[in-house]
Amino acid sequence: MDTYEYGELLKSLTTKMDNIKNIVKPDELKARLDEIERMQQDANFWNDAKNAGKISQEKTKTERILETYNRANDAVSDAIEYFEMAKSEKDDDTLEMLFEDANNLQASTNALEVQMMLNGEHDSNNAIVSIHPGAGGTESQDWANMLYRMYLRWAERHNFKVEVLDYQPAEEAGIKDVSFIIKGENAYGYLKVENGIHRLVRISPFDSNAKRHTSFSSVMVSPEVDDDIDIVIEDKDIRVDTYRSSGAGGQHVNKTESAIRLTHIATGIVVQCQNDRSQHKNKASAMKMLKSRLYEYEMAKKQAILDGVEKSDIGWGHQIRSYVMQPYQQVKDTRSNQAFSNVDAILDGDIDKLLEGVLIAQAK
């Protein structure tokens, strides 16, 4: 990068920050935080626990947006000041430092831009994630487990909590199926772009001839919805199956049919839960999963109508991303058309740039 290119970058980032400021309205956010602070100091504020919880969540989210905005805005302002000073004094060392930090500067403004996009009705909710291996036996089951680990590591990087709802290990390696909740602010807003088919190309560790294999796994993400959401599921709408838990839990779990599988007859959506020894609790968790999946299904249908897509095209079966480990190293997303060579880091949970790239591309 040279002086001209860096100057152009600062111009574009300044324009972006001006646009974001018009959306964020930092002065209004500060005023709202002051108002919430006064409300919380009222002795009667905590009498209504439900309302107090919502206000407290609003405060946390508002503080985070304001903090992210101030951090990005200060970074751009400081960069402009240092750049002008270094140019006038012909300070090549400072210029080189600014050029090296250009990617971080862009990343901070991109993160803020993405945060502004996460304004959907349920973007701030927890995310329910299910991963299913495709055809291919052990190879696909191992790939599903690699994706599971990737999302766990991503959640860990963000200090999000994870609750496993259903985990079915495969006989040789990998998993047959897994469902879990990632709990954290905007978890669904970020992970909703992971819905679809994920493709892996690599030299199979399970092939003695060391041949290259292609594997597929599907990822389904839905928002964890409140119990009072307007989705009615009657007993006649579902088939309930019980089975013995295959996960950890000792002899008790394996000897009792505490695991629950619910099949929604009209849509064919299947959810299952075995994380608790209580069949009643597993059924309650499965019903919450089913409500979330049905909500996502209905939203997808409405969006398909707006986009002019046939109903039969709605589903999870669209390849969204390829992870190539052989003969070269590359992860490429079909929606943002971005390609990254740091495959190992991505599989270790470093997927923020992937997620942000898709969110920005879809917004445009």
Question: What domains does the chain contain, in order, with CATH numbers?
Answer: 3-117 (1.20.58.410), 124-364 (3.30.70.1660)
Strands in 330-333's sheet, in edge-to-edge order, are: 161-169, 175-183, 127-133, 212-223, 196-203, 319-324, 330-333, 339-340
Q: pLDDT of 138-156, one tens digit each? A: 899 999 999 999 999 999 9
User: Contact, 96 vs 1, CB < 8 A?
Assistant: no
- Predicted pLDDT at 23: 83
Q: Is the model's pTM score more than 0.85?
A: no
**Residue 65 amino acid letter:** I
Which has more pLDDT, 306 or 326?
Answer: 326
Beta strands at 175-183 and 270-273: parallel, antiparallel or unpaired: unpaired
Say whether pLDDT at 301 is over 50.
yes
Q: pLDDT of 99-120, one tens digit each? A: 999 998 988 888 888 888 887 7
CB neighbours of residue 26 within 10 Å: 14
Residue 252's pLDDT band, with cuts at 50, 70 and 90, is: very low
Element (H, E) at 322: strand 319-324
Q: From 141, 212, 204, 213, select the one nearest 178 (Cα to Cα).
A: 141
User: Contact, 229 vs 295, CB < 8 A?
Assistant: yes
User: Contact, 263 vs 242, CB < 8 A?
Assistant: no
Residue 280's pLDDT band, with cuts at 50, 70 and 90, is: confident
Say whether pLDDT at 316 is over 60.
no
Q: From 64, 61, 66, select the one nearest 26 (Cα to Cα).
A: 66
Q: Is 82 helix (H, G, I), strand (E, B) or coil?
A: helix
